[in-house]
Structure 1
Amino acid sequence: MLCGAVVLLCLSVAVLSAQDSCPAAPGMPGIPGLPGRDGRDGPKGDKGEPASGLMASKKGRVGEPGSEGAMGKRGVSGEPGGKGELGTAGEPGEKGEPGESGVVERAAFSVVRINNDYPDRTSIIRFTKIITNLNDDYDTQTGRFRCRVPGTYFFVYHASMDTNLCVKMKLGDTVLASFCDHRRKPKQVTSGGLAVYMSRGQEVFLETSDYRGMRGNPKAYSVFTGFLLQAH
């Protein structure tokens, strides 16, 4: 038993000795590993020394101004600004040259009734003989005065009458005043007047009622007069 164990031990030593004396074959290359992550930034370095010699830079001279470029396109308009503060009063200007006086507007008429017939009942009384009629504002065909210059006018009539007379002074369809008189003498004169504001194009006239004793003859005229007091 002891001799057998010694033999096996010797054989094992021999085999191991033979394996150590033979060179080993190279193995297969391994798989490349994954790329590593970037390292952290290092601390900022100290400021270097100024360059010297040929490496040192020199400041150049200021160049000449370039030529003016073309005008650019107009930009978008901005929002309107707020109202500024009131400025100081300026110096008085020089006195101007004398000018011509303004044109004064005038309007006036005075007309006569020479028809010895009585006017028709409730009709416009026509005065056909002209004494004064600026710009033909009074129409002898219609018996109406048409306003050309807006303002305040005064109208008055004087009537020769041989019977009762009632006269209405009207502004268009509006009765301004009504005047009535009853004959007390064979020959009698009555009158009436008032001031009224008129706009351009309005008309004033006299109108009869049932009492229409207004006559007109060379010895006893009936007169209607109007004139502008103040233009507006």
Structure 2
Amino acid sequence: MLHHCFIVICALLSLAIPLLVAMESCPAIGMPGMPGIPGLPGRDGRDGEKGQKGQPGAEWHGGLVPQKGEKGEPGLTGFAGKRGQSGEPGKPGGPGIDGPLGEPGEPGTAGVQQQAAFSVARGTNDYPDKASVIRFTNVITNINDDYNTATGHFRCRVPGTYYFVFHASLEDRLCVLMKLDQTLLTSFCDHRRSRRQVTAGSLAVYLSRDQEVWLETKDYRGMRGKPAGYSIFSGFLLHAH
């Protein structure tokens, strides 16, 4: 053990002696000088060679960067916007398919206008009563039954201007009144006495629908109705309105 320690001490002395000798032979160390001026920046070096392409990174699921979320639910319907400007007119469309046939319409008046006419005759040789409606019971023409043989009245179904005329065969004095709904239109009187004669009267008058026209007697009522001399009442439409 002592042997080893001696060897170590000798080694340390062999190192320390040369240092001491050097310190004796060198002068004292001076103060450090001022730092030198920095040199100019050096030039950039040449670009290095391009490195190889790296491997794709793994998909990133975390961190502070915002991530795309899942699709949300549809929002509520917004308010209707203002009406935009009208566009240019489009081209006309093609003709459509024919529709079904409609139901028949109500009967028109054209056909009735041409058929509004009647002619009737007295069916008896007896005089009519005083101040009464003169009834003509023998029908010659009575289109649409506008003349009523039971009442002696003509009833208008087609409004317009009508022409009425009567021809009376008589052997006594006669006064005939033509009335429209209880209103006197005119009177025709023949006060001459003879064995046999004929008298007539006519009038054009405007009628509204459902108005009625007829003939009445007054004090004189000598109208006959025998085949040898009939008394006839006629009427027909001149112009429909």
**Scaled by the length of structure 2, what TM-score is found?**
0.54
Matches within 5 A, 1:125-136: 125-136=134-145
Let me know the Cα RMSD of the aligned residues: 2.5
Partner of 1:24: none
- Work out which of the two has the higher radius of gyration on C-alpha atoms and give 1 or 2: 2
Q: Deviations over 1:54-103 (max 9, x none)?
A: xxxxxxxxxxxxxxx9685699xxxxxxxxxxxxxxxxxxxxxxxxxx83
Distance 2:193 2:140 in 1: 30
The answer as to 2:134 corresponding to 1:103 is: no
Q: Is the contact made by 1:161 and 1:183 (CA closer than 8 Å) also made in structure 2?
A: no
Name the structure 2 match of 1:177: 186
Structure 1: where are the runs of 5+ without partners? 1-68, 76-101
SS at structure 1 position matched to 2:214: strand
| Secondary structure, aligned partner of 1:163 | coil
Distance 1:74 1:223 in 2: 82
Equivalent position to 2:156, from 130, 143, 147: 147
**Which of 111, 122, 125 is the equivalent residue of 1:116?**
125
Letter matched to residue 181 of structure 2: G
Instruction: Please give the alpha-carbon distance, in whole angstroms, between the structure 2 residues aligned to 1:204 and 1:74.
Output: 70
Q: Match of 1:211?
A: 220
Q: State the distance in 1 between where 2:134 and 2:216 align.
A: 6
Paired AA for residue 171 in structure 2:
D
| Structure with the higher strand share, 1 or 2 | 1
Return the letter of the residue paired with 1:228: L
3-state SS in 1 of match to 2:171: strand
Shift in Å at residue 173 of structure 1? 1.1
Q: Is the Cα contact below 8 Å between 1:118 and 1:213 reproduced in 2?
A: yes
Equivalents in 2 of 1:163, 1:71: separation in Å? 99
Match of 2:147 among 104, 129, 138: 138
CA distance in structure 1 between the partners assigned to 2:192 and 2:126 by the alignment:
17
Could you tell me the TM-score, scaled by structure 1's length?
0.56
**How far apart, CA to CA, are the structure 2 residues paired with 1:74 and 1:135?**
66
Deviations 1:7-26 (A, max 9, x none): xxxxxxxxxxxxxxxxxxxx
Q: Is the 8 A contact 2:172 2:194 kept in 1?
A: no
Letter in 2 for 1:196: V
* Unpaired runs of at least 5, structure 2: 1-75, 83-108
Shift of 1:177: 0.5
8 Å CA contact 1:114–1:215 kept in 2: the answer is no
Shift of residue 135, structure 1, vs aligned partner: 0.4
State the distance in 2 between where 1:229 and 1:71 align. Answer: 71
1:114: Cα distance to partner?
2.2
Question: AA paired with 1:161?
Answer: L
Cα distance in structure 2, aligned partners of 1:124 and 1:171? 12
Change (3 A) 1:71 1:144: farther
- 1:50-89 alignment runs, 5 A limit: none
Aligned residue for 1:180, secondary structure, equals: strand
Kindly, what percent of the aligned residue pairs are identical? 64
The answer on whether the counterparts of 2:171 and 2:193 sit within 8 Å (CA) in structure 1 is no
1:230 maps to 2:239:
yes
Q: Is the 8 A contact 1:109 1:133 kept in 2?
A: yes
**Using a 3 Å threshold, how does the CA distance of structure 1 residues 71 and 169 change in structure 2: closer, same or farther?**
farther
